[in-house]
Chains A and B, each alone.
Chain A
Amino acid sequence: MTTANSGNMEHDTDFAHEGHGDISVGVSGAGASGDGSASATRITPGNALRPEDIALEVRRGTAKPSEDVAEYALRLGDDALILAQRLGHWISRAPELEEDVALGNIALDQLGHARSFLTYAGGAWDKSEDDLAYFRREHEFRSAHLFEQPNGDFAVTIARQLVVSYYQYALYSRLMQSADPTLAAIAAKAVKEVDYHRDHSAQWVLRLAGGTEESRRRMIQGLRLVWPYVEEIFEDDELTTRLAERGVAALPSSLRQEFDNRIAETLAEAGLDVPDVPQSLGGGRAGRHSEHLGYILAEMQVLAREYPGASW
């Protein structure tokens, strides 16, 4: 009976598709937008390195990080994950709809990087990206304090974005040449994306600094709030030193000069000074975190932990 019925429905013209897998909307004549070949709505998934590809390589054993490399990937992955979690909160709350979409894109880029790094890191311990994201405790995270800082107002978010994007750009540009091919591949994809994040934050710094009195005041305050956490991301330790010697990691301190130069340029263009504030002690790489991380994880992990072992 049901087959006959659905047969009936399909015969109705005008309702071109049931279900709608690939929607080729039957717009003809005057309603069509432009000619088919020059369509502005032709969509493709494109091809680029995806976390799924890395997962596949890890499963096949063609990509297997050493303990050190995994530890390092964990740091990069945690930075990106915590930032994505922060930025994701903006969607539906941004100053304008266009910015909802822009921040959404940045959050999605960061989440993509996080998934790639975590998937790769997990290869050393037979853990998935989700095992690492949802079932580690606070002290097991390796994110730096900068990434954990609250969104604040839009100026604080932009200030944090400025530091993060300039840092990540310097980092990934170097990691593209990493002796570890997987890290190099992730960085090669990520560097183009953070290049755009850099542009996004710089454009906004200019506008907020040069807009109204209020926006300038807020921009300066935003920079002061995030600046104490700059030092930590450029600190070397045994792990990064070891890995840098083998050409796997970029030594954090070696990125500082480029970062300082470019930041100085951008802030100068906006008529702003580099904030002169005491640097916080950090400790994120060793599992000593800001007070914020506990809340971030509580929210992020709540559901997964309620149903351990479940698949989603």
Chain B
Amino acid sequence: MEHDGTALRSGSGAALGFARALSEDITAFVLGENLEAMAGEAAKLAPVLVADHPALAAPVADRWAHVIAEVARAQNAELIVATSTTWAKDIVGRAAGLLGGAMASDVIGHEMVDGELHLRRPMFAGAVNATIVLEGSPKIITVRPSAYDAPTAATTPFTIEAVATDAFDVEKLPNATQFESLDRKTGARPDVTEARIVVSGGRAFKNSEDFEQHVGGLADALGAATGSSRALVDAGITPNSLQVGQTGKIVAPELYLALGISGAVQHLAGMKNSRVIAAINQDPDAPIFEFADYGLVGDVYEEVPRLIAELNSSQ
């Protein structure tokens, strides 16, 4: 279960939801240092195993993957599941490399067919869904948080247990990587992966002030998160934590508003599973409209201020 040092990452419960759909015998594993709060949260969802140790203070891949692999072996785990994030790709991916490499990333669906676990996952920036079977055990799977719900929280919490003292040998932990710093992006707005509504801007916006005024302004009027296409990140107009797409963040909010975004496949890969998609673009043939439920052909510099004004006047 991923956490940020103070709380579980929202979405981390999706991995438990997937695991619960396949088995009654599941354990939430939390590793790091000072894990009381996170273990408590996880215990609402499943029995918890914790590896709490100063040597695990920062999430460096070689150490954490080593511990995950050792604990998975000790538990005879057949399935290791994590919610798909950069943390899981880095650390759980490496653990999979220690455990035989039967891994599927970004799973969005599954089915048992004749006792075989069929997994559905996007490929080619989401242009294709592939169905695959993993050969070998254990199987290591990351799931998209939008595809699976966390199990419902129990009224009486499950047990919390520490890993056996010999589960891993602190002396033998890899020591080739040192954590230096994490420049946490801070902002008043919710994270793009966690918001109910995402307002996203593309190349139509000429500079950060315009982006903030229009995309930021509309997001605030809606209580939404802001996102952006890669074009703006490349231009230095938005920070890369806002990038939505194949190589950025994958989002599936209730509403995704695409403002001056053309709808390149790489962008669509990150947002096309949103429940409702609306787009404003001055080009009536922009591909984004094919993936939208509602479209307004117009200039974002004119239409967005109108939306903001109308929202603010109705409050």
Whether A associates with B in a native complex is no
Interface residues of B (CB under 8 A from A): none
